[in-house]
Homo-oligomer: A and B are copies of this chain.
């Protein structure tokens, strides 16, 4: 298996920005035009376009042009890629829950809040 997946970096990086997450959340109804996506953000179009470029590079969306308006379509499969990584980690991590519990109890002991 690859040492690391550059795709995952692009995806998580794309998801790390609230504006971009917000736009993704508004793709639930299907395809949305660029300006419609931009409007509620209060940001300028060139800024939005660069956000969209990031989302497209991560393949979280694809876009198509119809006449003079560009439509943005969500790509659910890419979410699955991110989810898979998280699932793998969680499986590994929770196999050790017992050890973590022990650690948390250790924490309780030295539980002195700083000034």
Interface residues of A (CB under 8 A from B): 3-6, 8-9, 12-13, 15-18, 21-22, 24-25, 27-31, 64, 73-74, 76, 79-80, 82-83, 85-90, 92-97, 99-100, 103, 106-107
Contact = CB atoms under 8 A, between A and B. Distances in A.
A83 B21 CA distance: 14
Contacts of A21: 4, 8-9, 85
Contacts of A15: 8, 12, 16, 85
Nearest to A58: B16
Nearest 10 A-B pairs (CB), nearest first? A28-B92, A4-B18, A13-B16, A12-B16, A12-B15, A30-B99, A74-B93, A76-B93, A30-B96, A79-B90
